[in-house]
Amino acid sequence: MVCSYPGDSLMKEKTDTHLLEYSVLLIFMVLLVLLFYYFRYDHVVLIFLSGIASISYILWGIIHHALEGRLTKFVAMEYIAFGLLVFLLFFTVLNF
């Protein structure tokens, strides 16, 4: 027997929204991995792609939390900090 609760439709709607958001993120990340492989010998392009990936990560995280109504300054700063850290790691590695 299946029980139906008033919040079931809200949960399905939220799941559908998450599926769309994470699908977009996954497609973008797969595209970036393919571009990283294609340009694996061109360090300038790799640095540019890592910058694009970091900016995309920051924007995706902030937009995701804003749509859910859970965006705070701390969450935004956390995404910015990790995005910058990852970019700086790629930048450092690719310059050697």
Tokens 């061109």 correspond to what residue?
42
pTM (two decimals): 0.81
The pLDDT assigned to 11 comes to: 62
Longest dimension (CA), the chain: 62
The pLDDT assigned to 21 comes to: 87
pLDDT in tens, the chain (96 residues): 455 555 566 666 777 778 888 999 999 999 999 999 999 999 999 999 999 999 999 999 999 999 999 999 999 999 999 999 999 999 999 998
CA 30, CA 27: separation in Å to the nearest integer?
5
Q: Where are the domains of the chain?
A: 14-94
Per DSSP, helices labelled H in the chain are: 8-38, 43-68, 73-94
Q: Are 89 and 57 in contact (CB under 8 A)?
A: no
DSSP character at residue 32: H
- Hey, what are 10's tokens? 């809200």
